[in-house]
Chains A and B, each alone.
Chain A
Amino acid sequence: MIHPRSLFAIAKSFQELDTIAEIPKEEYIKKCTSACAGCSSSLNLRYVLKAAGPDTVLVVPACCTSVIQGIYPNTAMNIPVYNVAFGAAAACASGMSNAFRQAGKKTNVIVYAGDGGTLDIGIQAMSGAFERGTDFLYICYDNEAYGNTGMQRSGGTPMGARTTTTPTGKPDAKKDIDAIIAAHDPPYMATACSAYPLDVYKKVQKALTFRGPTFIHILAPCPPGWRYPTEKTIEMGKLAVKSGMWVLYEREYGKLTISAPSKAAMKKQIPLEEYLAPQGRFKGIDAKTVEILKQRIAKNLKRLVAEEAAP
């Protein structure tokens, strides 16, 4: 079977790493960001940029990263960053990618957008860019709320989570953006989590070998938003994966592979309560909502396992 996007693929070889120690030492984010203590999205970005290397432009809509990079005339970023309006990142990247390719340049164009800028206000521009086969990598770092404006609910907020606009817990389920992206049939898409930097690094490296639109959805736990102590930021990501609340996988030309940390987690799944209890945003969540979340986890895992097993 010919995948429609395979027409756009180019073979660009890369060295797959085995250990975190092999990740390049070059830093593209300097130690002068204005990120919150324990911020995992800036940690994600650190590994994203290490994997992408210096011939990269980052397109950033309104999100935490608009602030994290520093205040003019200073910048913590050691690659060009183009900041653009909230709903415009994918369209802006689309123009940029076309301009670079028209000029014969191979420069990586990476959108680095939050869940609000991806699942909500940016979804139209993103859908358009994927449909048009734009040669870019779209990364959604997902802290499951509008963090930059002080934690309002977004389409990415899970059911039951308290935010400043859902003070008794969000009544609606998290939007399944990955299913929406999958419907665009990109040559490569993946999920990742800041608690697994080597996995993030490898997935970014792989995504950038494809010509065409690629997508990585990275869960980024947020201490002030999720209300847990800053030193638990890695642990929180691991609990998300171990409980099955977040599943790591990649889909290459439509073929799904569940990533090793999630495979291991599925063999020894921890109770969801172990993930929910340390987070202030789930304080007082009722038993019925927990049950709905558990059902969603089971349904999602079943669906992914079946898809992976399918010929």
Chain B
Amino acid sequence: MKKIATGNKAVAEAVKQAKPSVVAAYPITPQTEIVETIADYVTSGQLASRYIPVESEHSAMAACIGAAITGIRTFTATSSHGLLYMHEMTNWAAGARLPIVMANVNRSLGPGWNIWAEHTDALQERDTGWLQVYVATVQEAYDATLMAFAIAEANDVLLPVMVNLDGFSLSHIMQPLDTVEPGDFIPPIHLPHAIDTANPTSYGGLTGPNDHFRFRWDIERSMRASVQVIEATQREFAKRFGRTYGFTEDYRCEDADVILIAMGTFGKEAEVAIDILRKEGIKAGSMRIRWFRPFPKLDLAGKEVVVIDRDYSFGSGGVLATEIRAQTKQEVYSVIAGIGGQEVTYDDLAEFVRKRRMGTEFWFGVNANV
């Protein structure tokens, strides 16, 4: 069904169709519209679920954990400081192998208070064992949320999935949304280690070094196995609903000499910049990283690479640039832009490519070249 929706509404719509039994959430700008919409679905009977209005994000994730271990589907949404506040429990959720789905509306971190887009919040969750996907359109926010449940709950994965959408520049903008009838696209949840009072056991108790080490490896084993599950789920989604997604979204990359790489809305807006550059005779292409965990295998051999980071790891560099350098062993031109909602236009994106200086880092709007 075709409609017009915000990124937040698109996520809520997908959650309604995925039918989680428990949703526990706490409000935070710019995510609040997601949980308000879900609370309304529950109250009005459109979604047969329990909505737990917890007193904090730490408790939101704890409640999802307590609910999920009974073998039911759960969802929560957060942003920025909310995500950081639940950090202890995001680790617990992954370690406990619970397929919780969470929408995170990417927002900067204080101080000072800034409610606009930035990816540092989710990237600080990089090492928790959560799968992370970054979306760029309202349609994709919806599609990725539906797929997140199927991927998280797959027996070879059983890890939580975080769907990331840029604060305001996606959460609050209106775009066309084509909803689907999911049918059996998301199979009924089956958690093999669900609590069963007829077959009692202890969960997460004292664990010695060797067993603990094995459990850590098991998370990585599943993270690696999730690659095939993601591919299969995206293939199945394309087959059923006609929209195709990959680990990355590549635009005019085939014959490109220079590739502009970004995540989230910048990654989509880059396509406009690429068209501008092509008209100027610059053979440029763009690559939007969709899945950050598991991180995709990139083939950038023989190409110059410009990476835009809407985040930063102080004392190291842009997180995405660092990942790409580590994986491809290639030098990049690292652009830090858009943090805290800084305005970056198509022309700015094109200019980053034109003025690239490989092996250097550039803070947009701060200095000419660092």
Contact = CB atoms under 8 A, between A and B. Distances in A.
A147 to B, nearest CB: 15
Interface string A86-97: 011011111111
Given A84-B62, A127-B55, 20 more contacts: A54-B200, A69-B202, A69-B205, A69-B206, A73-B211, A77-B200, A80-B200, A80-B203, A81-B201, A87-B88, A88-B89, A90-B59, A91-B60, A91-B63, A92-B62, A94-B62, A98-B63, A99-B67, A124-B59, A132-B53
Interface of A: 54-57, 59, 66-67, 69-73, 75, 77-85, 87-88, 90-103, 107, 124-125, 127-128, 131-132
Nearest to A78: B200
Contacts of B56: 91, 124-125, 128
Interface string B61-104: 01111111110101000000000000011001000000000000
A132 B59 CA distance: 12
A165 B202 CA distance: 32
B50 A99 contact: yes
Interface in B9-30: 21-22, 24
20 contacts: A57-B197, A69-B205, A71-B206, A72-B202, A72-B205, A81-B205, A82-B203, A83-B204, A90-B59, A92-B62, A94-B59, A96-B66, A96-B67, A96-B195, A98-B63, A98-B67, A99-B66, A99-B68, A125-B55, A128-B59
Nearest to A89: B62
Contacts of A128: 54-56, 59
Interface of B: 21-22, 24, 49-50, 52-56, 58-60, 62-70, 72, 74, 88-89, 92, 195-197, 200-208, 211
A124 B65 CA distance: 17
7 cross-chain pairs, A with B, having the tightest CB-CB distances, nearest first: A128-B55, A95-B63, A95-B66, A91-B59, A95-B67, A91-B62, A92-B66
B19 to A, nearest CB: 11
B52 to A, nearest CB: 6
Contact of B92 (A80, A85, A99): A85
Interface of B, helix, strand, loop or mixed by DSSP: mixed
Contact of A92 (B21, B49, B63, B206): B63
Contacts, number: 156
A71 B209 CA distance: 11
Contacts of A127: 55
Contacts of A107: 197
B47 to A, nearest CB: 12
Contacts of B202: 69-70, 72, 75, 77, 80-81, 83
Contacts of B22: 95, 98-99, 102
Contacts of B62: 84-85, 88, 91-92, 94-95, 125
A185 B197 CA distance: 30
Contacts of B204: 82-84
B50 A75 contact: no
B58 A103 contact: no
Interface centre among B66, B195, B206, B211 (most CB of A within 10 A): B66
Given A83-B203, A128-B55, A72 B211 contact: yes
A234 to B, nearest CB: 27
Contacts of B200: 54, 77-81
Contacts of B65: 84, 88, 92, 95
B197 A88 contact: no
Given A99-B21, A124-B55, A54 B197 contact: yes
A127 B55 CA distance: 9
A55 B196 CA distance: 9
A99 B72 contact: yes
Nearest to B69: A82
Contacts of A102: 21-22, 49-50, 72
Contacts of A75: 201-202, 205
A77 B21 CA distance: 28
A54 B199 CA distance: 10
A56 B197 CA distance: 7
A97 B55 CA distance: 16
Contacts of B64: 95
A124 B59 CA distance: 9
Nearest to A86: B88
A15 to B, nearest CB: 22
B70 A100 contact: yes
B100 to A, nearest CB: 10
